[in-house]
Amino acid sequence: MADDLKLQLKQLIVETLNLCDIEPTEIGDDQPLFGAGLDLDSIDGLELALKLEKEFGIKIGSSEESRKALESVNILADYIRKHGRAD
C-alpha cells in the first residue's frame, strides 16, 4: 500500500505541474522536489499543496511546514499518512 501511495503522489506531481518530459517512475522516492531535484519553485509548491489538500484532505499550514512536507515523495507520503487520508 505504501508503494501505491508513492506512485500516486508521483503521478499527481507530474499531472498537476504538467511535467511532460518526466515519467512518474523517474522520480526517486528520496529525490528532492525543490532545488537540485525536480527543480520545483514556490508557485509549483503552492499548486501542489492545493491539489494535495483536495486529494487527501490535508491542510499544510505554514510555508515552513510546506517546505518540510514537500521535501521528497517519501516525506510527503509520511505526512499524508499522519495528517490526511491515504486512500
Cell of 35: 532545488
The answer to the question of residue 50 being in a domain is yes
**Cell reading at 30:** 528520496
pLDDT of residue 61: 76
- Can you give the pLDDT of all 87 residues of the chain as single tens digits? 458 999 999 999 999 999 989 999 999 999 999 988 898 998 999 899 999 999 999 988 777 888 899 999 999 999 999 987 655
Q: Is residue 23 part of a domain?
A: no
Question: Which residues constitute the domain of residue 53?
Answer: 2-18+30-83
Total domains in the fold of the chain: 1
Asked if the structure places residue 39 within a domain, the reply is: yes
Q: For position 73, which CATH number holds? A: 1.10.1200.10
* 13 lies in some domain: yes
Minimal CA–CA distance to 18: which of 46, 54, 48, 42?
A: 48
Residue 58 cell numbers, joined: 490535508
Half-sphere exposure of 87 (CA within 13 A, CB side): 8
Query: What is the 3-state composition of the chain as percent helix, strand, coil, each rounded to the nearest 5?
Result: 60, 0, 40
